[in-house]
A and B are shown apart, each in its own frame.
Chain A
Amino acid sequence: MSVRRLAKEQPSSFEFSKETMEKAQWWIKKYPESRRQSAVIPILWLVQKQEGWVSEPSLRAIGDLLGMAYIRVLEVATFYTMFQLTPVGTAALIQVCGTTQCMLRGSNELMRVCREKIGPKDELSADGRFTWQEVECIGACSNAPVAQINDLYYEDLTPENMAQIIDDFAAGKTPKAGSYVGRHTSEPVGGARVLTDPALYDGSAAKKIKKLPNSEPVAEKAPV
């Protein structure tokens, strides 16, 4: 992780959209009035949803909204790497996991595809529609290699899949998320190997429960 700085070029202003503001108010109400600033992380997130990234004017707007010093908002925004401080691709923000499991399963190849099709890491593509990043473990190791694209996980990827996905996004489509080897969530490839008896799922194996386990009061033990 390198030093996180605000983008050099910044928009001149920032406005909360009506929808963002409504959600922001919902978050602010969750906290006591004197602790408004507790809502800073969700609101930064909402702003990123609205704009795609967190701009400098938006940091000030959040500071004003929550009655915080601007430096305090900046501290939070620079602490968390999921807040994008520079503009990201409008079509897709591709976050390829590069941690051990994904690396062993070929994430380097995925990144090579990204580099060839989009450009250097962490930089906006020439057309402004794509950004790709290498991120730390995103917690889907059994489906390695994984990439998070916008809000969804694309799992079990091959370089060919990756290329196709990028092409699809470029064409304005939203490719299907999930596993690309046809498995259900993180089941083994080729289907489940245990708990395969259909009777488990049709209700025939169910028995009426006579009493809930551990539901009876514990007998008081005599003091020793």
Chain B
Amino acid sequence: MPIAKVNGVEVEFEPGMTVLQVAERAGQEIPRFCYHERLSIAGNCRMCLVEVKPGPPKPQASCALPAADGQEIFTDTPMVKKAREGVMEFLLINHPLDCPICDQGGECDLQDQAVGYGRDGSRYGENKRAVEEKNMGPTVKTFMTRCIQCTRCVRFITEVAGVPDIGMISRGESAEITTYLEKNIDSELSGNVNDLCPVGALTHRPWQYHYRPWELKKTETIDVMDALGSNIRADSRGAEVMRVLPRVNEGINEEWLSDKSRYAVDGLQARRLDRPWVRENGKLRPASWDEALSVVADKIKAASADRIGVIAGDLQDAESMKATLDLFRALGSANTDCRQDGAALGGEAREGWLFNSGLQGIENADAILIVGANPRTEAPLLNARIRKSWLKGGVEVGVIGPQADLTYDYNYLGAGSKTVGKLPKAATDFLTKAERPAIIVGAGALTGETGPAVLNALGALAKKVGVVKDGWNGFNVLHAAAARVGGLDMGFLPGEGGLDVATMLKPGALDVLFLLGADEVNADASGAFRVYLGSHGDRGAHGADVILPGAAYTEKSGLYVNTEGRVQMAERVVFPKGEAKDDWAIIRALSERVGHKLPFDTLEQLRTKLMGDHPTFGRIDYLAPAATFDVAKLGAKGDLGDVAFVSVIADPYLTNPIARASETMAQLSAERMAPVALAAE
């Protein structure tokens, strides 16, 4: 490997690295505004100037200069210091000094670097330029006077998000960042431009003037808005989660976050269940915990074991599902199911419901067949990865199912199960000739009566074209719910002779229906006594006879398994609202009243039991290398019929109770989904 000297210290580097990267490798921090590791290099802020020998006797922009063998790089000479001060002074000619009222204040790159590398004053007494505000939609608040034209937002939205909406118009001193005629940014990743903005020009509109960064308590936790389990940092003040920002996790979300994961947090403050409720004479009235639990216990005890059932919701942590599952098994009920969407998954090998290649691994695939999923709405960051891989030119994509704008080109092969049954030759060919083919199956393909048959046919296809082979497992199930894999891993499925979700909901099927945070099913017709345990007054609570207030994902410590099968632990950021309790504790209290006391008193004991029964839960933050399995055994042979696949997510901004309670999500849904509905009419 070539060697360069940074401030006299030799450092090895890989060919193709830039001077800035080599200097970083040597531990020298280089200030920058426009340069970002995950974006193309622009080289327009000039903050990263360094001195390089051999070379012209002037400072060089290190972000855009390839390092060479034997090069000497200086980052602390008087020339570099002077250059940085000069650039800083130039940048500040037109930057307003409104830090005290700027949302970026306290976490601003310009502020920090002005202190670190700038002069103490300015020699420019002229008036500063003023720029009109621009509308960019409900997620982005603009203060364009503060813009320093680094173009990070332009590059992000064009390259990573694949929606070229932002641009820089005019030139020179008049240059302005804007969208075309100030239309809204139509990207599900738009919030990231606010993170990328090194100054306060683009800030988070939903949180505008809500906080100052230094007054927030920061808790590292896990996102549950989709099944990717993006790593987040939830910042809270008092009892309120003020904002959610991404944490870097190369294996999952890199350093991005989708708008839903980020901006749905205002839903945590609205429509909350903060005390137990009991229905009396057709009307809900507030009740004490004691009373509510007794009512539920009486009803359960009165019903026969095969007439009670439980449906687990999409945001449920593994511990509460485990406690519920154990309780219902103890009661003798086999009517347990966690698949609200009715996907034909679960059972045999764990690989049968995982995203086996891994989110990072999907970038290695050279052919991807997407079946019955719209990754852009179901898992925006997975879609960004596929786009990244497509931009590099290494992957061919085929789609069976919904035909949507995925931000990359694909071959549209067919609408539904008919195409799966009789694949066009082109489809099999592009998978066969690929070295590492992958199939991404969405829950949309696996629902309904044809679900098992579709899964079986895809398994057979996977086996035929070598999707699963030694050293490569490209059979990927894309879930849309954060709780789903955890539920499947612990076998939260109908037991021997048990009813599944659809049959439990049929009129007269059950006497007592327990909804464990299940809001995506319509239980109005079931006629059973309904108990709802959850955090929000949403569909599930709407018709419930007893409401038990639980904790939202930021209010409890819990395990979540993402679509790859990676177990991650979410942390408590704030306490549950009002009288609400941790979900597992409610189940534990209920178990005592129904006479089947669960064998744990603390969350740790529950976790120990969970990990003992299902060892996969013990491997926190660990992604097992994909094992091969007999993919052809999946599902059941049957008539494929002719069903057009529909993504399980009709409106990505309204997928769960938290999002539905969020004002920002309602706004995004109205802005971004309405035109789609019009087009479909």
Contacts and interface: CB of A to CB of B under 8 A. Distances in A.
Q: Is chain B a partner of chain A in the same complex? A: yes
B171 interface: yes
B348 to A, nearest CB: 47
Contact of B176 (A3, A6, A70): A3
A79 B164 contact: no
B166 interface: yes
Interface of B: 164-174, 176, 178-181
Given A3-B176, A56-B181, A71 B165 contact: yes
A56 B181 CA distance: 9
A2 B173 CA distance: 9
Contact of B179 (A3, A6, A71, A78): A71
Interface in A62-119: 69-72, 74-75, 78-79
A62 to B, nearest CB: 13
A71 B180 contact: yes
Contact of A78 (B164, B166, B169, B173): B169
15 contacts: A3-B170, A56-B181, A70-B180, A71-B164, A71-B165, A71-B166, A72-B164, A74-B167, A74-B180, A75-B167, A75-B168, A75-B169, A78-B170, A78-B171, A79-B171
Contact of B174 (A1, A69, A70, A74): A1
B147 to A, nearest CB: 13
Contacts, number: 39
A132 B169 CA distance: 24
Nearest to A69: B164
A4 interface: yes
Contact of A69 (B171, B172, B176, B180): B180
A70 B168 CA distance: 12
B169 A1 contact: no
Given A69-B180, A71-B180, A3 B165 contact: no
A75 B170 CA distance: 7
A56 B180 CA distance: 10
A8 to B, nearest CB: 12
Given A69-B165, A74-B167, 4 more contacts: A1-B172, A1-B173, A71-B165, A75-B167
Contacts of B178: 71
Contacts of A78: 169-171
Interface residues of A, number: 14
Interface string A1-42: 111101000000000000000000000000000000000000
B190 to A, nearest CB: 14
A122 to B, nearest CB: 15
A129 to B, nearest CB: 28
A4 B164 contact: no
Nearest to A71: B167
B167 to A, nearest CB: 4
Contacts of A3: 170, 174, 176
A75 B165 CA distance: 11
B69 to A, nearest CB: 29
Nearest to A59: B180
Contacts of A4: 169-170, 174
B221 to A, nearest CB: 36
A78 B166 CA distance: 14
Contacts of A6: 181
A72 B167 contact: yes
A3 B172 CA distance: 10
A74 B176 CA distance: 12
Contacts of A72: 164, 167
B350 to A, nearest CB: 43
A56 B183 CA distance: 14
Interface in A108-150: none
Nearest to B169: A78
Interface string A169-209: 00000000000000000000000000000000000000000
A146 to B, nearest CB: 24
A74 B164 contact: no
B145 to A, nearest CB: 13
Given A69-B164, A74-B169, A75-B167, A2 B179 contact: no
Given A69-B165, A71-B164, A72-B164, A79 B180 contact: no
A57 B26 CA distance: 53
Among A1, A56, A74, chain B packs the most CB atoms within 10 A around the CB of: A74
A79 B172 CA distance: 9
Contacts of B181: 6, 56
A75 B171 CA distance: 9
Among A1, A6, A56, chain B packs the most CB atoms within 10 A around the CB of: A1
Nearest to A79: B171
Contacts of B179: 71
Interface in A203-222: none
B252 to A, nearest CB: 29
A75 B177 CA distance: 10
A15 B165 CA distance: 24
